[in-house]
Amino acid sequence: MDQKTKEALERIEHLYLVEEPKIKKKEDKISLLKVIRDLASENNLQQWVHLAVGDIHWYEKDYQPALKEFEKALAIIPEFAYAWNDKGNALDDLGRKDEALAAYERAIELDPKFFQPWNGQGNVLYGLKKYDEALAAFEKAIELDPKYATPRNGKGNVLYDLKKDDEAIAAYEKAIELDPDYGYPYYSRGIIFQEKGKWHEAKADFEKYLSLEDDESWKRMAGLRLKQINEKIAQQAKTQRKPSEKKPTEKTDKPTPEKKTPVEVGIDFAEQYQRSGLADMVEDRRTKLDEVMEKALNPDPQLKSERINNSLHVLRDWNSYTPILPAKFRPDDDFGPIERRGGGYFLVWRGFGVVIDPGLHFITQLYNKNLSIADVNAVVITHCHLDHTRDIEALVDLNYRYKKFKDKKPNEEKAEPVHFYLGSSAKHKYQEYLKSSGCCANPKILTGSKRYSITDYLDIVGVEVFHDDIVSRDEAIGCIFEFKDEAGTVVHRLGFTSDTRQHESLAGKFEGCNVLLAHLGTTETIGEIETGLPNHLGVMGCCDLMMKVKPKLFIVGEFGEELIQARLNILEFIAKNKPEETKKVLAADSKLSIKFGDDLEVFCNHPGCESNTISIDKVKPLLGEDSLFRYYCGKHFA
C-alpha cells in the first residue's frame, strides 16, 4: 500500500469511527458516508466503498440491500471487522437475531478493542430479554470506550426493564453528560418520570428529545406522550388545593400508580415494537404486500390476447372434497403431487371473460394463467358444492378491491360490474350476498331452458340436470354457451353438464353441441353397473352421452383423486367408444386450453410456445409426473 492510499485509509477510519458517531441527523450521516464512499473509490479501497454504500442503505432502512453490500466487502477482505459489525446491524434489523449475534462475535474476534459490536450484541440480547447477558455486553462496550454514550443508554434500558429505576436514571444521566445532544436518554428518562407522576420533568425530557432527534416514528410517540403529560399537568392545575383547604399529608402527596389508558398502553407497545426492530420489518413487509396487491389489481387485461381470446381454459385439476384435505390425511402410499388443486373454468369469447364454477384454488389457477380479476366479466355458478363455489367470495372481495383501486385512478375507465348467473341452489346461498356486497346488483337465475344474452355475441342457456348438493335436491343446472359471429350466426355450441347423474333426457338437451364438457366424478363399482352412479355420470354416463350427442370434441372433467393412476386408462376407454363424428376425447385439467376458431385447436403447453395451437385431430395427450395431462405441438412433442 502506497503512502497516498495509507493516508486515505487513515482518514476513512477516522471519519467512520470518530466523526460519524458524533452526527445525529440521518441526512448528515448519509452525507458523511458518501464522502467515505468517494474517498475509498478514488483510492481503490473497494471494501470501504461497499461498507459505506451498505451503511447508506441501512440508514435508509433498506436492510436487504445493505446486507448484500456488507457481504461484498467481506468477500474482498474476510477479516474486515467493521463490515462484520455492520452486517450484524443489518441482520438484527431483518429479524435474524442468531446470525446477528454471530456476526458481532466475529467482529469481536477480529478486533477485541472494537466497542461497537459489543453494543450491537447488547441491543440484540436486550431485545431477546436476555438481560444479564445484555448488561454484560453494554458494560464491556463502556469499558472499551468510556466516552461512548450509546451503550449507557442501552444499559439504562436493561435496568429499566429490571425495574431498577434509580440505576436506570443514573445510566441515562451519564449518557446525557457524555453527549448532551444524544436524544434517546432523554426519551428513556422521560418515561420513568412520567410513570412516577413527575409531569414537568417528563415534559422537559420529551421536548428535549424532539429538539434533537429526527426519527419520525419515535418523534410521533414522543408527541403522543407529551399530549398525555400536558393533559395531566392541566388536570393537576385545575385540582390544586385552595389556601383554605387542609394541607395533605406526606402520604397523600406521593404519586400513586394510575391505571394506564388504552392510548398509554398503545404507546408502550409501539416503543417496544420499535426497539425490537419488528416495526420496521412489519412496515417493510406491509409495503411489499401493498405493492403485490396493487400489481394484482392493476394488471394488463389479457382477454383480447391471442393466447386467451376465443378460448376455453380449464383452471381445475381435481374434484369434490379432496383438495380441501390437509396432506397429512393422505395415505402413506399416495400417488401424484403433494399439492392437489381444484379450481374452475374460464371462457373467453370476443374479449369477454366468463368464470364457470370457481371452486377451491380458482384464484390461484387464474393468476397462474397470467389472468386476473380485471379479466372477469361474468360468473356462472351451477350448484352449491365446494369444488364449484369455494372461491366465489374471493372473487367478490377482489372485485371490491379492484373497483376501489380503479376509483382512485380518475383518468382510467371505471371497473365494470360483474354479471352473475346462478343455478337455483346457488340462488339460495348467494343472491342476497351478491346484492349486498355491491358486486352484482341483479344476479340472473339460470333454470332449465332459460336463455340470457351475456353479450351480443355470447348466449347462455340453462339445462336441467340431475344432482343433489348441500342445499337442494336436483336443482343443479348445466348450460350451453352459444358463440356468435358478427352477423349473429352461432358458430360454436359448448355444452357443460356440470355435475349430474346419467339420465335418458340429457342427450336431447345437449344436442347440437360441437364441444361437450362432461363431469365424470368417479367410476362405477360392479354393483353400480345396472343402476349407475347416484350423483355423477361415471364412465357409463359419459360414454352414453358422447355416443348420443356426437360432439366433435368430448372433454371429460371432474376426475376424483382416487383415479390418479387410472386417468389415462379411463380416457383411452372412453375414446375407444367414441362415435365417428367425435374427433377427440380429452381430459379437463389445468394444462388444457381449447381455441375456438374456424376449427377447434389445443394450445401447446411448452414454455414459450403457448400461442401455437394443435388441431384436435393431431393432439396427443401425455401424462406428466404431476398426474396432469399435457399437450405439445409437433415441434415439441417428445
Low-confidence winner among 21-30, 67-76, 150-159, 594-603 (lowest mean pLDDT): 21-30
Mark whether 405 and 462 lie in a shared domain: yes
Mark whether 484 and 597 lie in a shared domain: yes
Domain membership of residue 300 (yes or no) is no
End residue of a domain, out of 251, 275, 299: 275
Mark whether 525 and 382 lie in a shared domain: yes
Mark whether 588 and 539 lie in a shared domain: yes
Report the candidate in 563, 562, 556, 561 with the shortest Cα–Cα distance to residue 577.
556
DSSP annotation of 17 reads I
Tell me if 476 sits within 8 A of 467, measured CB to CB. Answer: yes
Give CA torsion, residues 208, 213, 214, 217, to 10 deg.
Answer: -80
Domain membership of residue 304 (yes or no) is no
Exposure letters 451-480 (e unless 16+ CB within 10 A, then b): ebebeebbbbbbbbbbbbbeebebbbbbbb
Mark whether 218 and 321 lie in a shared domain: no
pLDDT at 82: 95
Domain membership of residue 534 (yes or no) is yes
Q: Which three cell numbers stand for residue 624?
A: 406428466
pTM, two decimal places: 0.71
Burial label for 157, CB within 10 Å (0-12, 13-18, 19+), is buried
Average pLDDT, the chain: 89
pLDDT at 506: 96
Low-confidence winner among 12-21, 32-41, 249-258 (lowest mean pLDDT): 249-258
Contacts of residue 18, defined as CB under 8 A and 6 or more positions apart, other chains included, come to none
Q: What is the chain's percent helix, strand, coil content, to nearest 5? A: 50, 15, 35
For strand 477-484 and strand 458-464, is the pairing parallel, antiparallel, or unpaired? antiparallel
End residue of a domain, out of 179, 200, 217: 179
Tell me if 86 sits within 8 A of 70, measured CB to CB. Answer: yes
Q: Which three cell numbers stand for residue 230?
A: 400536558
- The 10s digit of each residue's pLDDT in 407-454 is 766 666 777 889 999 998 899 889 999 998 888 889 999 999 899 999
- The 10s digit of each residue's pLDDT in 4-13 is 999 999 999 9
Report the candidate in 374, 378, 377, 344 with the shortest Cα–Cα distance to residue 360.
344
Query: Could you tell me where the beta strands, DSSP code E, fall in 465-569?
Result: 477-484, 490-496, 515-521, 553-559
pLDDT at 252: 47
End residue of a domain, out of 212, 247, 275: 275
> DSSP states of 164-220 as a string?
-HHHHHHHHHHHHHH-TT--HHHHHHHHHHHHTT-HHHHHHHHHHHHHH---HHHHH
Cα 497 to Cα 545: distance, rounded to the nearest angstrom: 10
Cα 31 to Cα 478: distance, rounded to the nearest angstrom: 69
Average pLDDT, integer, range 115-126:
94
Name the percent of the chain lying above pLDDT 90: 62
Tell whether the model's pLDDT for residue 334 goes beyond 90: no
- The 10s digit of each residue's pLDDT in 378-420 is 999 999 988 899 999 999 999 998 888 877 666 667 778 899 9
pLDDT at 39: 94
pLDDT at 331: 60
Tell me if 581 sits within 8 A of 616, measured CB to CB. Answer: no
Name the percent of the chain lying above pLDDT 70: 92
Mark whether 431 and 510 lie in a shared domain: yes
Radius of gyration of the chain (CA): 35
Tell whether the model's pLDDT for residue 327 goes beyond 70: no
Q: Where do the H-state alpha helices sit in 239-390?
A: 250-253, 262-276, 278-297, 362-368, 386-389
- The 10s digit of each residue's pLDDT in 295-304 is 887 778 889 9
Tell me if 543 sits within 8 A of 529, measured CB to CB. Answer: no
Mark whether 102 and 143 lie in a shared domain: no
Other beta carbons within 10 angstroms of residue 637's beta carbon come to: 15
Q: Check which CATH number belongs to the domain holding 593 and give it.
A: 3.60.15.10
Domain membership of residue 250 (yes or no) is no
Domain membership of residue 19 (yes or no) is no
Mark whether 203 and 335 lie in a shared domain: no
Mark whether 227 and 134 lie in a shared domain: no
3-state secondary structure of 475: coil
Tell me if 356 sits within 8 A of 380, measured CB to CB. Answer: yes
Cα 616 to Cα 609: distance, rounded to the nearest angstrom: 17
Cα 5 to Cα 565: distance, rounded to the nearest angstrom: 71
Domain membership of residue 637 (yes or no) is no
Mark whether 520 and 624 lie in a shared domain: yes
Mark whether 388 and 430 lie in a shared domain: yes
Tell whether the model's pLDDT for residue 250 goes beyond 80: no
Q: What is the distance, to the nearest Å, from the Cα of residue 395 to the centroid of all Cα atoms in its chain? A: 16
3-state secondary structure of 98: helix
Domain membership of residue 284 (yes or no) is no
- The 10s digit of each residue's pLDDT in 528-553 is 988 899 999 999 999 999 999 999 99
CA distances from 249 to 121, 197, 245, 253 (A): 48, 17, 12, 7
Domain membership of residue 551 (yes or no) is yes
Q: What is the distance, to the nearest Å, from the Cα of residue 171 to the centroid of all Cα atoms in its chain? A: 44
Average pLDDT, integer, range 47-56:
95
Cα 184 to Cα 154: distance, rounded to the nearest angstrom: 10
Tell me if 476 sits within 8 A of 433, measured CB to CB. Answer: no
Instruction: Considering only residues 263 and 577, tell me which one the structure prediction assigns the higher pLDDT.
Output: 577
Cα 611 to Cα 78: distance, rounded to the nearest angstrom: 50
Which residue reads 500500500 in cell numbers? Answer: 1
Binned at pLDDT 50, 70 and 90, residue 488 comes out as very high
Mark whether 53 and 200 lie in a shared domain: no
pLDDT at 319: 62
Sign, CA dihedral 144-145-148-152, equals positive
Binned at pLDDT 50, 70 and 90, residue 607 comes out as confident
- The phi and psi torsions of 533 (rounded to 5 degrees) equal -70, 145
pLDDT at 439: 87
DSSP annotation of 249 reads P
pLDDT at 243: 54
Tell me if 71 sits within 8 A of 63, measured CB to CB. Answer: no
Domain that holds residue 149: 115-179
Contacts of residue 569, defined as CB under 8 A and 6 or more positions apart, other chains included, come to none
pLDDT at 414: 72
Exposure letters 389-415 (e unless 16+ CB within 10 A, then b): bbbbebbbebbebbbebbeeeeeeeeb
Report the candidate in 508, 510, 498 with the shortest Cα–Cα distance to residue 468.
498
Average pLDDT, integer, range 268-277:
77
Average pLDDT, integer, range 243-262:
56
Report the candidate in 309, 407, 435, 387 with the shortest Cα–Cα distance to residue 557.
387
Average pLDDT, integer, range 15-20:
90
Q: Check which CATH number belongs to the domain holding 141 and give it.
A: 1.25.40.10
pLDDT at 270: 80
Tell me if 272 sits within 8 A of 266, measured CB to CB. Answer: no
Instruction: Considering only residues 605 and 508, tell me which one the structure prediction assigns the higher pLDDT.
Output: 508
For strand 344-349 and strand 451-455, is the pairing parallel, antiparallel, or unpaired? unpaired
Domain count, the chain: 4
